[in-house]
């Protein structure tokens, strides 16, 4: 799975995931946001339970919090 997601990374993509005063901030440059949107679209087309780990050693900027993208069937609130 991770190899397939790695192919979605656009050259020059930067994504940062941090917490500031109990608020989570996900930010990136244009290439990073396009990469993230491709990952989410790809994930939405896979079976429930499929997930992808993003960490500062696997694509996120150094110092970013770990982030797990999960396709789940949660009920609407």
- Give the tens place of pLDDT for each residue, 5-57: 667 889 999 999 999 999 999 999 999 999 999 999 999 999 999 999 999 98
Q: Is 74 helix (H, G, I), strand (E, B) or coil?
A: coil
3-state helix, strand, coil in the chain (%, to 5): 25, 25, 50
Rounded CA-CA distance 28/70 in Å is 20
Rounded CA-CA distance 12/42 in Å is 20
- Give the tens place of pLDDT for each residue, 44-76: 999 999 999 999 988 899 999 999 999 998 877
């Amino acid at each position: 799975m991770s190899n397939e997601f790695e192919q979605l990374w656009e050259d020059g993509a930067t994504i940062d995931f941090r917490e500031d005063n109990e608020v989570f901030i996900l930010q990136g440059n244009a290439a990073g946001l396009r990469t993230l949107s491709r990952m989410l679209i790809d994930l939405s087309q896979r079976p429930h339970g499929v997930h992808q780990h993003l960490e500062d050693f696997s694509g996120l900027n150094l110092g970013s919090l770990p982030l797990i993208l999960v396709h789940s069937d949660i009920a609407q609130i």
